[in-house]
Every structure is written in structure tokens, then in C-alpha cells.
Amino acid sequence: MSKIAIMGAMPEEIEPIINKLDNVDMTLYGANKYYEGSYHGQEVVVAYSKIGKVFATLTATVLIEKFGCDRLLFSGVAGAINDELNIGDLIIAKSLCQHDLDITAFGHPFGYVPEGDVSIDTDQTLRNIAQDVAKQKGLTLKEGIIATGDQFVANEERKNWIGTTFGADALEMEGASVAVVCNALNVPFFILRAISDSADMDASFNFDEFLESSAKISADFILSMVDELGR
């Protein structure tokens, strides 16, 4: 049987998932906690990485290499860049980029490193399953480019620059690093984000207020995808 990795960045993003698992067994490894269990018979391993690209890279790698997960689903929250995204809306990443990666001094575009790519696509099959789940739930699921960086953006100018430079619809702090790991290790992956703020001057206030409710929306959707993958 396949084993599905479910990741978040913060406790609030995975607690709604862990609470619904059966036969949970916690392993402490690499200064982090990994929760193995099952959901309606499907084996899953759940972890929150802590915030930022480095911790997300470590956690994604451990989920794949130590726990043997063959697909990875990320559940969490993000700030909106696209004006059509409102708090609580769901967006899935078609591709992800690193907005804070900058070696333009050497003539390269923003987000690019030699032997790498500016953006990495997520798995088409998992995106299709997500759209099927959205139809079953009567939800609108937007699809677009998500930008990742090691900074909480609460600045209209920075937000607009990221949107213009990368064509990004939303931004967060982990997704693109998960993409790099999964792409390198040939593991299908999927990034789902519920909008918690608009990455502007009110972002920190809105983030605190809507983190829990937005995280629950994302978590519920991810568990429905686990059901579909287990069929």
C-alpha cells in the first residue's frame, strides 16, 4: 500500500488532520515530530516543518527518505496577491517559485540558479483529483502560481513586485522548497493553500485572526483527497 505524506508549516495546519487519524504513532526524528497513522484505511505520515524554506526542505526529505512516503500533500495558508482571492479561498499551485532567490548580478532571472528552474510544476494527476474533490464539495478551487520566500510579506510594494515578476497569485514560506525536494526525488506532490491575508499592511492582523479557520478549510480538503487517493 502506498504511504501519503501530509505536511504543514505550523501546528495549526496539521492538528485538524492528526485529530482525525486512527492508530497514531509519534516518532521524534531530526528535532521534529512525525505522526504515522491511517485515515479510512489509507496510511499517512503527518508533520509540520516549522516556518521557512530550510525546515520545509528537511521535513519533506525525511518524510520521503525515512518514512517511505510516495506522494506528498501540503496543507496550509497563504497571502493573496491576485485580487480575485479572498480570505478563506482555496488555491492549488500549478507551479511554485522562490521570490527571494536572487543572483541577477550574474545575469540570471530572479528565482533561478544554474542547473535549476525558476518554477517547478506540481503533479497534474493530483491537481485533477483536487478539482474532482472541489466539485463534490461545491467549492471553487483556483489554480495558479505560488511564490515562496523566507519572509512574511506585509508590504504592498513587495507584494506587487512578486506578482509582476513571477506572475504569482499567492505567496507563502515553504512550498517551493518542498517542490525542489519532490522534483529531485521523483515524488508526486501537491500544494494547497487557504488564503489567510492579503500580504499588505493589514496582513499580520488578518493572519492571526484567520489562521485557524483557513487552516481547517485546507486540512478538510486534504483529507478528502486522501479518501480519493485510497479508492
Residues 175 and 93 sit within 8 Å (Cβ to Cβ): yes
| pLDDT category of residue 213 using cuts at 50, 70 and 90 | confident
Q: State pLDDT tens for residues 2-43.
A: 899 999 999 988 999 999 999 999 999 999 999 999 999 999
How far does the chain reach from its first CA to its final CA, in angstroms? 12
pLDDT at 96: 98
Give catalytic residues, as residue numbers: 13, 197
Question: In residues, how long is the chain?
Answer: 231
Q: State pLDDT tens for residues 48-73.
A: 999 999 999 999 999 999 999 999 99
The two counts, helices (H) then strands (E), for the chain are 6, 10
pLDDT at 227: 94
Q: State pLDDT tens for residues 121-142.
A: 999 999 999 999 999 999 999 9
CB atoms within 10 A of CB 105: 6
Structural domains of the chain, with CATH: 3-229 (3.40.50.1580)
Tell me which residue has cell 478549510. 217
